[in-house]
């Protein structure tokens, strides 16, 4: 009996402990459930929502680029692309084989597609080809039953309607490379493109806009069930350029058969109206993806279509430099307007002979006559008297030898040589003979076509320094406008009388029967132009060749022919436009470059491009008065 009582007590204690343990565990579980469901409810609701709802970044539409009148030069157009959803086909390879009967798929494309199929989930579309035309889309749609997993999608792609005429200015867009990732999530979007060259690169952030977002509901596997909300973001700003569409296309046509450049600018504001380089390329190909053959054709072309010759080409200025040499001599008092020199056709210096382009010479000339007839001996003489340092100082004052800071990548600064430069670069001292040839714009000196245009504009605008620019204004989608105002620059501090002498002489170059460009003049009185030719040797002419007769450009290979140059302005009675034309290996400046400049300046005036643009320069009336006197003198 006692033993049964002890057993019952033991059983009772164990039962109580078991019940207590269960109660403790139940209490703990209840407390935990209360904590999760009540105290932490907001947190887990958010996590559940985030698992069910995905936020996706949307690429904004890229802003347009337009000319000065608002005509589009770069915009977005519908991009038809073919996609492949691998879960909807039994054989990706089989579908690609069938699709290849309709559109071209290279081996490189197939490898990329198969790689993307392996990386992505089976329901995620993979891009097969972009930029399909309507004919290709139609054929794919008709054959859809035989193309399981294939679908057509419509996106946006950058398009340049005037591809070759504006390629060097606009540049192009292309996919983001690994080294260009900055942490901006937009750059990580598949297929997102950024500006890689030209204005597209200069104003990439403004053109890019701000990304939007899409809120979609997904299942546990990440498949999209429906879109809940969509915000398209902010489109990129419109970049309005100073260029004129019609004039740019006209200039492109004039130099289409040459390796050449044309720059036209407003002499008062510094606005660039034309910046053309030939040959060119199609920027649409960069957007779509260049083939190896296309790339090799571009880089192996001896006429360098990828180089913007207007800002990146560097050439000896030849006789277009003579105005700078004349001003350097006049400003220093080395010569006066009445100083005269005799040209016999050559000049001796030590044991060297320097020839004039006119074999038997020009006779006796003053400074104005020497510019008009482009006498080399006259400028040999004054260069020898003033020296390289004074010539270099005047050249730099007019913007030669240094980059001008135009809002475009790839600008070169050229070279204005000096004694110090030669000593540091070549390791020898400057020679008098080098000063002599510098006097006619040859030797070590190098300038860009843009610098020549700016130099010319400053020669005829009263000596006001200019900052050339291509951007007129930025127009954001919300209506805000960021204008690039034309502000009068500082004076170059050159005597107005000496500037007038040079400008008068440039008018005579074209409109005086003795001038080197008389045959290329504009005959309409209110459109007359002034200017200066330049012909630059790219090979050495030996003494033996001079004795037997110098070979004509037409008798030489293209690469051995002279460069043809011309700088000019119009109209003579009230200058508004300045131009520079450089034709690589084109031959004579008067026979090749001057006619191009004449036609372009005539077209600029006919179009009346600057009719609504007022001059910011306070002494514009003085310039007009001087221009009228120039016309009378010519």
Residues with active-site annotation: 319
Phi/psi at 589 (5° precision): -65, -40
* Measured distance CA(311)–CA(290) in Å, rounded: 25
DSSP codes of every residue in 326-346: HHHHHHTTSS-TT--EEE-SE
Contact 411, 401 (CB under 8 A): no
DSSP structural state of residue 185: G
As a dihedral over the C-alpha atoms of residue 573, residue 579, residue 580, residue 583, rounded to 10 degrees, the angle is: -110
The alpha-helical segments, DSSP class H, found in 128-277 are 134-142, 163-170, 198-202, 204-208, 245-254
DSSP structural state of residue 464: B
Please report the sign of the dihedral spanned by the C-alpha atoms of residue 517, residue 518, residue 521, residue 527: positive
Q: Are strands 224-231 and 212-218 parallel, antiparallel or unpaired?
A: antiparallel
221: left (phi over 0), alpha (psi -120 to 50) or beta: alpha
* Measured distance CA(558)–CA(581) in Å, rounded: 18
Count of residues in the chain? 634
Total Cβ atoms within 10 A of residue 358: 15
Contact 320, 566 (CB under 8 A): yes
* Measured distance CA(349)–CA(387) in Å, rounded: 14
Phi/psi at 88 (5° precision): -95, 5
The alpha-helical segments, DSSP class H, found in 81-174 are 92-99, 107-119, 134-142, 163-170
Element (H, E) at 42: helix 41-52
The residues, ordered by sequence, that sit 6+ positions from 143 with a Cβ below 8 Å of its Cβ are 98, 102
């Amino acid at each position: 009996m006692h033993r049964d009582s002890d057993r019952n007590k033991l059983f009772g204690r164990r039962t109580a402990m078991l019940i207590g343990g269960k109660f403790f565990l139940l209490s703990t579980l209840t407390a935990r459930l209360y904590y999760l469901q009540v105290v932490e409810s907001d947190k887990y609701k958010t996590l559940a929502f985030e698992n069910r709802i995905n936020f996706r970044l949307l690429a904004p539409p890229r802003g347009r680029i337009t000319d000065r009148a608002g005509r589009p030069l770069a915009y977005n157009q519908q991009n038809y692309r073919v996609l492949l959803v691998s879960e909807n086909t039994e054989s990706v390879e089989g579908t690609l084989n069938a699709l290849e009967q309709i559109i071209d798929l290279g081996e490189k494309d197939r490898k990329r597609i198969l790689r993307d199929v392996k990386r992505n989930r089976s329901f995620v579309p993979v891009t097969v080809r972009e930029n399909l035309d309507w004919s290709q889309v139609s054929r794919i749609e008709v054959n859809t039953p035989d193309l399981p997993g294939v679908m057509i999608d419509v996106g946006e792609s950058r398009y340049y309607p005037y591809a070759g005429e504006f390629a060097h200015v606009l540049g192009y867009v292309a996919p983001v490379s690994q080294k260009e990732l900055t942490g901006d999530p937009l750059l990580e979007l598949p297929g997102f493109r950024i500006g890689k060259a030209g204005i597209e690169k200069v104003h990439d952030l403004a053109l890019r806009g701000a990304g939007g977002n899409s809120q979609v509901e997904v299942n546990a596997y990440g498949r999209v069930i429906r879109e809940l909300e969509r915000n398209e973001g902010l489109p990129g700003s419109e970049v309005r350029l100073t260029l004129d569409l019609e004039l740019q296309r006209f200039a492109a046509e004039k130099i289409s058969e040459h390796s050449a450049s044309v720059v036209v600018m407003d002499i008062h504001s510094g606005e660039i109206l034309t910046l053309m380089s030939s040959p060119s390329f199609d920027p649409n190909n960069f957007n779509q993806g260049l083939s190896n053959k296309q790339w090799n054709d571009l880089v192996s072309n001896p006429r360098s279509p990828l180089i913007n010759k207007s800002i990146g080409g560097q050439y000896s200025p030849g006789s277009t430099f003579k105005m700078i040499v004349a001003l350097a001599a006049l400003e220093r008092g080395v010569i006066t307007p009445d100083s005269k020199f005799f040209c016999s056709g050559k000049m001796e210096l030590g044991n060297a002979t320097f020839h004039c382009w006119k074999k038997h010479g020009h006779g006796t000339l003053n400074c104005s006559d020497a510019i008009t007839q482009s006498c080399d001996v006259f400028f040999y003489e004054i260069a020898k008297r003033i020296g390289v340092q004074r010539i270099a100082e005047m050249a730099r004052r007019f913007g030669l030898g240094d980059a001008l800071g135009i809002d475009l990548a790839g600008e070169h600064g050229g070279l204005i040589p000096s004694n110090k430069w030669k000593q540091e670069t070549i390791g020898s001292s400057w020679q008098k003979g080098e000063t002599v040839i510098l006097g006619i714009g040859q030797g070590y000196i190098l300038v860009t076509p843009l610098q020549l245009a700016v130099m010319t504009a400053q020669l005829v605008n009263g000596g006001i320094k200019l900052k050339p620019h291509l951007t007129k204004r930025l127009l954001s989608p919300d209506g805000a406008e960021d204008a690039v105002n034309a502000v009068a620059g500082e004076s170059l501090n050159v005597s107005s009388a000496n500037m007038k002498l040079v400008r008068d002489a440039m008018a005579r170059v074209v409109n005086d029967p003795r001038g080197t460009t008389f045959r290329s003049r504009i005959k309409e009185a209110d459109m007359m132009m002034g200017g200066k030719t330049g012909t630059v040797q790219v090979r050495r002419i030996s003494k033996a060749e001079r004795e037997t007769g110098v070979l004509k450009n037409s008798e030489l290979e293209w690469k051995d022919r002279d460069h043809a140059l011309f700088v000019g302005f119009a109209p003579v009675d009230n200058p508004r436009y300045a131009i520079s034309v450089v034709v690589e290996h084109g031959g004579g400046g008067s026979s090749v470059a001057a006619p191009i400049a004449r036609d372009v300046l005539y077209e600029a005036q006919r179009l009346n491009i600057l009719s609504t643009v007022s001059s910011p320069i306070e002494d514009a009336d003085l310039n007009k008065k001087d221009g009228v006197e120039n016309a009378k003198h010519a």
